[in-house]
Amino acid sequence: MPNLVRTLIGLALLLAVAQARAQLEIIVTDPGAQRSPIAIVPFAGEAAVGTSLTAIVRADLERSGLFRGVEVPPLSPPPTENTPVNYGEWRSRLADALVLGSVVTHPNGRYEVRFRVYDIVKQAPLGAIAYVFTKENVRAAAHRVADFVYEKITGEKGVFSTQIAYVVRRGAAYELQIADADGERAQYLLRSNEPIISPVWSPEGRRIAYVSFESKKPVVYVHYLEDRKRQVVASFRGSNSAPAWAPDGKTLAVVLSVDGGSQIFLLNADGSGARRRISNSASIDTEPRFSADGKWIYFTSDRGGSPQVYRMSATGGEAQRITFEGSYNVSPRPSPDGRVLAYVTRNAGKFQVALLDLSNRQVQVITDSDRDESPSFAPNGRMILLATVIGGRGVLSAVSADGRIKQRLPFAGGDVREPAWGPFIE
Amino acid sequence: MRAILIAALCSAGLLLGGGCATTPEDQAAAGVESRTAPGGKPGADTRAVQPPKVAAVDITGKPSASALAALKDPNNILSKRSIYYDLDKYDVKDEYRSLLEAHAKYLRENPTARMMIQGNTDERGSREYNVALGQRRSDGVKKMLTLLGARENQIETVSLGEEKPQADGHDEGAWSKNRRSDILYGGEY
């Protein structure tokens, strides 16, 4: 518990000012999809915080596409986590799951949320926990509650407490921003008059590598989120781009033109040591991404005449072609469980996100827009964040890995692009 | 060409009158010769100081003012800095031959001059793949310039991918202006 308090207070320092507000628009493209009805009774005492914690929890769970909030009439007295549950009564309200809780205000000004999750169908409690938080961190606390509920009911970790990074362009100004996974509490890490592309989170979530054009050419930086230190890690003669973290957090794959062409190299993420070249072709080799187990590097190459996805051992060597359908398959992103590869494919001039099942080679195009870029898996593999263009403006969009649920995060003002979904927060 | 000719004549010892520059390492200390009068007293036998002719070598990296002015003169072909490409093409079209010959000549005649070539693409497709495609364009321009006599280490090739379009539209009219290589000289980047 003290750890969580520390974490939440740390987050308050890190996320001091909200720069941009985002509103989520959820589009469930398959209305037949089964969404589990869940009753989340407003927590007794939450009014003292000034923000409805349970409203944030409900919005989180609905955004996953797996849940539908059940309307609950005002109950008197308001039930808490200690109130005995009448399963028959909640069954008659057509809820499959129930969350009851309360918020206590401590004398030191902190709050404590305590809650319990119930399976109404099986008539069994699923678990209970309490979190302490400060007023500024009510959203972070609500995301923790949603993660707990999600995990107790689905058996999988939730991603509501994770963060996303992306680039916003307004005229000639570029900002690298981070925000909560729901697009709220956005703030910038870097503001520049030159483009910023390809942000990627380090495995532990405390560093972001990206490419900045501030020196009139692409240079790779590692940005430390806590102290805002930024370090040049690749500024060789020529172009330096496409950073990717190895799962150990110590190694970066990058694409350099220093030896001619565009080839993949490994570097130490702290900038020490020498570069190690691991691709060796006369063609373009770019967009490296490590598999979650660190054994493979997936990358884009035009060695076969058109850009396609290949993979090689993470130490280099022979490459194996992975995509075959179509003449333009780029931006490979292996899923966290290693079973699926997301990438961008061109179909009749439209750029869309496709998923390739690596065991049976089945391909499924999961978006229907036409300028999709930069797919990024949620750390639990359930959703994919991507950049697309709607009405001439860059927006972020999220699609469930089965393609049935789509969401948009239309930020106020500017073009939003280059999304990167951060890791689980410990 | 003139520079090459002069260098050849120098090495053959064919040019008279101190017109040949030598590198500093080769050059003995030159300058004012001070003489002392036989009586040991300065000023007793003063002669006019006649420094020997010095052939200056400037390695600070600055081409002459007139050479620099040529780069900006709208009437000079050297002020033309962009090479445009057809869709999915990376080779320099014949129409840019005289442009590249002029820039190669400038680099030959100003060995201290430095150049950056920035390759660019249109907006379609992956940003990172476009960085690689832009690199292929700038590398192609460098190859031509070195074939025309520029030295390899004078030219750095980079890519800006699709990030710095010249035209903002979303049609072929704009895209054709954005598939390009831009030439910059030292001091401009």
pLDDT tens string, chain B, 189 residues long: the values are 444 444 444 444 333 333 343 333 333 333 343 444 444 454 445 556 666 677 665 555 578 888 889 999 999 999 999 999 998 899 999 999 999 999 999 999 999 999 999 999 999 999 999 999 999 999 999 999 999 999 999 999 999 999 999 999 999 999 999 999 999 999 899
From the list A224, A271, A263, the residue with the least C-alpha distance to A240 is: A263
Pairing of strands A36-40, A67-69: parallel
Alpha-carbon span A196 to A213, nearest angstrom: 6
Residue A40 has phi, psi (to 5 degrees) of -115, 100
> What residue of B is the nearest CA neighbor of A328?
B125
Only one residue has tokens 């058996």, namely A155
Q: Would you call A218 and B132 a contact, using CB atoms and an 8 Å cutoff? A: no
Q: Which residues of A touch B189 (CB under 8 A)?
A: 216-217
Residue A160's CB is within 10 A of a number of other CB atoms, namely 25
A411 and A186 in contact (C-beta within 8 Å)?
A: yes
Residue B92: the pLDDT is 95
Residue A258 has phi, psi (to 5 degrees) of -60, -30
* pTM (predicted TM-score): 0.85
Task: For Cα atoms A32, A34, A39, give the angle at the middle one, nearest 5 degrees.
Answer: 130
In a mutational test of the A interface, the residue from B88, B118, B121, B129 whose CB has the highest number of chain A CBs within 10 Å is: B129
> What residue of B is the nearest CA neighbor of A285?
B132
Alpha-carbon span A309 to A306, nearest angstrom: 10
Number of H helices, E strands in chain B: 5, 4
In a mutational test of the A interface, the residue from B89, B138, B155, B158 whose CB has the highest number of chain A CBs within 10 Å is: B158
In a mutational test of the B interface, the residue from A200, A210, A239 whose CB has the highest number of chain B CBs within 10 Å is: A239
The CA distance from B49 to the nearest CA of chain A, in Å, is 49
A259 and A212 in contact (C-beta within 8 Å)?
A: no
Residue A325's CB is within 10 A of a number of other CB atoms, namely 13
Alpha-carbon span A176 to A4, nearest angstrom: 27
Interface residues of A toward B, Cβ cutoff 8 Å, are 195, 197-198, 211, 213, 216-218, 237-239, 241-242, 255, 257, 260-262, 284, 286-287, 300, 307, 328, 330-331, 344, 346, 351, 373-374, 392, 418
Q: Would you call B163 and A197 a contact, using CB atoms and an 8 Å cutoff? A: yes
The pair of structure tokens assigned to A64 is 């996953």
For chain A, which ranges sit under pLDDT 70?
Answer: 1-33, 410-412
The CA distance from A332 to the nearest CA of chain B, in Å, is 11
- CB nearest A331 (choices: B126, B134, B157): B126
Only one residue has tokens 């496709």, namely A354
Residue A408: the pLDDT is 84
**Cα Rg of chain B (Å, integer):** 24
> What residue of A is the nearest CA neighbor of B126?
A373
Residue B1: the pLDDT is 43
Residue B46: the pLDDT is 56
Q: Which residues of B touch A374 (CB under 8 A)?
A: 126-127
Alpha-carbon span B117 to B137, nearest angstrom: 9
Interface residues of B toward A, Cβ cutoff 8 Å, are 116, 118, 124-129, 131-136, 139, 156-161, 163-164, 170, 184, 189
Q: Would you call A262 and B184 a contact, using CB atoms and an 8 Å cutoff? A: no
Alpha-carbon span A406 to A400, nearest angstrom: 7
The CA distance from B165 to the nearest CA of chain A, in Å, is 11
Q: Would you call B126 and A287 a contact, using CB atoms and an 8 Å cutoff? A: yes
Q: Which residues of A touch B174 (CB under 8 A)?
A: none
Residue A292 is classified by DSSP as T
Letter for the amino acid at A412? A
From the list A120, A97, A44, A103, the residue with the least C-alpha distance to A75 is: A44
Q: Would you call B160 and A237 a contact, using CB atoms and an 8 Å cutoff? A: no
Q: Which residues of A touch B159 (CB under 8 A)?
A: 217-218, 239, 241, 257
Q: Would you call B135 and A239 a contact, using CB atoms and an 8 Å cutoff? A: yes
Q: Which residues of A touch B170 (CB under 8 A)?
A: 392
Pairing of strands A187-192, A196-201: unpaired
The CA distance from B115 to the nearest CA of chain A, in Å, is 12
> ipTM of the assembly?
0.91
The CA distance from A238 to the nearest CA of chain B, in Å, is 5
Q: Which residues of B touch A328 (CB under 8 A)?
A: 125
Alpha-carbon span A288 to A23, nearest angstrom: 32
Alpha-carbon span B30 to A88, nearest angstrom: 107
The pair of structure tokens assigned to A176 is 């690298």
> What residue of A is the nearest CA neighbor of B137?
A261
Alpha-carbon span A316 to B54, nearest angstrom: 57
Pairing of strands A319-321, A207-212: unpaired
Q: Would you call B127 and A287 a contact, using CB atoms and an 8 Å cutoff? A: no
The secondary structure element, H or E, covering residue A99 is strand A97-105
Q: Would you call B135 and A287 a contact, using CB atoms and an 8 Å cutoff? A: no
The CA distance from A204 to the nearest CA of chain B, in Å, is 24
Residue A63: the pLDDT is 87
Pairing of strands A124-133, A405-409: unpaired
Residue A284: the pLDDT is 98
Residue B143 has phi, psi (to 5 degrees) of -60, -45
Task: For Cα atoms A171, B158, B109, give the angle at the middle one, nearest 5 degrees.
Answer: 120
The SS3 of residue A128 is strand
> What residue of B is the nearest CA neighbor of A343?
B126
The SS3 of residue A181 is coil
